[in-house]
Amino acid sequence: MSQFSDQTEVAILAATLADLQSLASKGSEIYIATHFRVDSDAALAAGLCMIALPTAELIFQSADEAVNKNQPNVVGVDIRNGTRSIKGRESSAANIAAMALGELGFTLDSVALEIVAEVNFVDQGKGYLLRRAFTLSRILNCVRSSGWPDESLVLYVRNMLRAHVTQQTREVVL
């Protein structure tokens, strides 16, 4: 398994999200970090993480900075790989986030999965092969041009995705 394979990154993100869920349940402040000038990959990955961590706040930083153990209440998506941050080197950060949510018991419906697949395609430079005028990337670019800041873009994506992501409840057998 390479250092930045999808499986490694999913494991890092799932473990970090679980850790932050536990911290949040104890009342700690938690944060999701992504890069300035969010693109569709960053917005979707951060939006999905916000669904798993509803109390988390967003922070924006350079894509070249990682999140490491010295920031125990932060998870980073679509930024440099660190012990608590993922980039999605093999696929995309959104794909890693979707798989990590799956590990935590969340289910993405076909609409959400299609958007993840589309962002994955765009992030790999193959967006031109998609037969659609409006990819998430173009939608976000347009509303950014009309004046939306980074935070509003991520929150909007989260709000619109919420209906497409459900959490499975675990049955407890007594």
Partner 1 sequence: MNILSVNPETQDNEVVAAFLLAKEEAHLVVQSYEVPIDEVHISDLFHRRPPRVIQKFNNAPMIVNLIAEEPLAVKVGMQLSTVTSERRHSFIIDELINTSSTLRAMLPTEFKPRVEFISNIIQGLIIQGEELLEASDSIKAVTIEQVGRWNVAHLPKSVDSRFTGLLMKNGAHVVTYANSEAIGMKISNEAQELGLTTADFDGFPTHWHKEKWVFVHGSRKAPRPRQLALMSRKNLRRLVRQNLERISSLEELD
- DSSP 8-state class, residue 28: -
107 contacts partner 1 (rule: CB under 8 A): no
Which CB sits closer to partner 1, 133 or 172?
133
Q: How far apart are CA 72 and CA 69, in angstroms?
A: 6
Distance CA 163, CA 157 (A): 11
CA distance 118 to 172: 37
Number of residues that bind partner 1 (CB under 8 A): 34
Q: For residue 106, which of 23, 169, 24 has the smallest C-alpha distance?
A: 169
Residue 141 found at the interface with partner 1 (CB under 8 A): yes
Closest CB 65 distance from partner 1, rounded Å: 8
Q: Is residue 39 part of the contact set for partner 1 (CB under 8 A)? A: yes
Least CB distance from residue 160 to partner 1, whole Å?
Answer: 5
Angstrom distance (rounded) from CA 45 to CA 116:
9
Compute the least distance from the CB of residue 14 to partner 1, in Å.
25
Name the residues that contact partner 1, by CB under 8 A. Answer: 35-37, 39, 62-64, 111-112, 114-115, 118, 124-125, 128, 132-136, 139, 141-148, 156-157, 160-161, 164
